[in-house]
Chain A
Amino acid sequence: MEKGAKMERNSKVLTLCLTEACNLNCVYCYEHYKQTKNMSFAIAKRILDQELNVEDGFDFVQIEYFGGEPLLAFEELKSIHEYLISNRWNKKYRVNVTTNGTLVHGEIKQWLYDHRDTIICSLSLDGNREAHNLNRCGSFDQIDIGFFQNAWPNQSIKMTVSALSLPYFAESVIFAHRAGFLVNCNLAYGIDWSEHANIDELKRQLSALINFYIDNPNIEPCSMLSYKIEMVQKDNSRVRKWCGAGTHMPTYSVDGKKYACQFFMPLSLGEEKAKAAKSLTFIQEIPIDLMDQKCRICPFVSICPSCCGSNYMDSGSLYKKDDNQCELTKIIIQANSYFQYLRLSNNQLRINDEEKYRLLNGILITQEFFNTRSN
């Protein structure tokens, strides 16, 4: 495994759902059909033997131990991981386990620490105590946050924002930065964002965060304020699929069946819908006329973080995005254009003149769009 390696171009993400069980019940969880089944070592071995040796054009594999809460299957995880690292493979790989952190104590904590050079622990932390507890069953005080920062000092936390935790969003991100983390954050998919008050609340939170980052230019902004505004354009004839679902993200359920991503497993969709989804075609470059009507005329379609799994779950279409989330995403994009303009004006961006030109063009298109809307 390459320590510190970046994702390489010809890479795939291999997700192993080690267990369907979880000890939490987060407010936005999309896994609606949880059972207590775990993946056996024999099934995991078969998958690793296949996926790490097959000639499929990918030379790097990001392996995800996923769940449920994967550390509920700690004995299986240990066996699988020991098998993985004690063998040689045709492909390079890196391993990540996504955890809610509540079980990382005692033996599990020690094992993870001892294996920190071969496994990265991604902590789902939804912010400060108030925000996290609202979303994640009051579990904040069960997590040894300092352990994660100490063992994987450059690791980002994964922060999901719900309508409940939105009023705490800015202070949550600042809390995480002050604890030493980078922050990957997104609005939760598949929940009700229809309350109009969410719009003004999101604006308030983003405004507070922008002020924080302008005052602290050495802190890397969270992912919600790192959109690539230079990609905004007036002419969108084709759109790249945002994620690897169905094309380079093989995901295996506990019984060893392969799915497009974790959203398409029976664990998330239920047996019947998951079976129907098997016939879906996933393409990496999507002709614009396949997109939802509102997306075809949207200048932001190329940077819009659409989740095809969530779209399918909600609407039965890979490309139909929730209207309320669409509005909130537009606000995030407008805030990004404003933030990056401020950074540019304050000489806080280390980019050359050509990059400035591209960025300013994206900012211009964004601002013109919102000017037209408000007139």
Chain B
Amino acid sequence: MDLFHINIEEIEGKINALKSILTTTPTLVYAGSTMNFSDCRGTCMGGCSGSCIASCSTTCTGVQTY
């Protein structure tokens, strides 16, 4: 099943369009670096098969259950 494919040139075109708007090239987020809430992977609750509610607590400050 050939699903979920995107044309590479189309993505590159959007990236180049953004580059022409942005005054500086944004730093990419690297794993292992200190992450802010906005960088949090956010899927920790789905990733953990145990108590599942907030196990990624040092990297994810965004878990809101209530």
**Chain A residues in contact with chain B, CB under 8 A?**
3-4, 6-9, 11-13, 15, 28, 30, 62, 64, 66, 94, 96, 98, 120, 122, 152, 154-156, 158, 160, 184-186, 188-190, 200, 203-204, 206-207, 222-224, 226-228, 230-231, 233, 235-240, 242-245, 247-249, 261-263, 284-285, 301-303, 305-307, 309-310, 331, 334-335, 337-338, 341, 344, 353-358, 360-361, 363-364, 367-368, 370-371
Contacts and interface: CB of A to CB of B under 8 A. Distances in A.
Contact of B51 (A66, A206, A341, A368): A66
A224 B18 contact: no
Interface in B1-59: 1, 3-6, 8, 11-12, 14-15, 18-19, 21-22, 25-26, 28-32, 35, 38-59
A344 B57 CA distance: 28
Nearest to B53: A96
A155 B52 CA distance: 13
B41 A227 contact: yes
Contacts of B40: 228
A367 B6 contact: yes
B34 to A, nearest CB: 10
Contact of B62 (A6, A160, A203, A207): A6
Given A122-B52, A364-B15, A233 B30 contact: yes
Nearest to B48: A243
B4 to A, nearest CB: 4
A360 B25 CA distance: 13
A190 B3 CA distance: 27
A245 B48 CA distance: 10
Contacts of A303: 31, 41, 43
Which of B14, B18, B45, B55 is packed against the most chain A CB atoms within 10 Å?
B55
A203 B40 CA distance: 26
25 contacts: A4-B66, A7-B64, A9-B58, A15-B50, A62-B57, A66-B50, A96-B65, A98-B52, A188-B49, A190-B49, A206-B3, A224-B43, A226-B42, A243-B56, A261-B51, A263-B50, A303-B41, A337-B6, A354-B22, A357-B15, A357-B25, A358-B28, A363-B11, A364-B8, A367-B8
Contacts of B57: 7, 11-13, 62, 244, 248-249
A98 B65 CA distance: 12
Given A13-B55, A185-B46, A353 B18 contact: yes
Contacts of B11: 341, 360, 363-364, 367
A355 B44 CA distance: 21
A221 B14 CA distance: 24
Contact of A230 (B14, B29, B53): B29
A316 to B, nearest CB: 18
Contact of B28 (A200, A227, A305, A361): A361
Contacts of A120: 65-66
Nearest to B36: A9
Contacts of A242: 44, 47-48, 56
B41 to A, nearest CB: 4
B63 A243 contact: no
A354 B26 contact: yes
Which of B6, B47, B63, B66 is packed against the most chain A CB atoms within 10 Å?
B66
Contacts of A188: 49
A345 B12 CA distance: 14
Contacts of A13: 51, 53-55, 57
A116 B11 CA distance: 47
B63 A7 contact: yes
Contacts of A341: 6, 11
A155 B8 contact: no
B52 A158 contact: yes
B39 A228 contact: yes
A190 B12 CA distance: 39
B53 A337 contact: no
Contacts of A237: 32
A96 B52 CA distance: 10
Contacts of B45: 156, 158, 184, 223
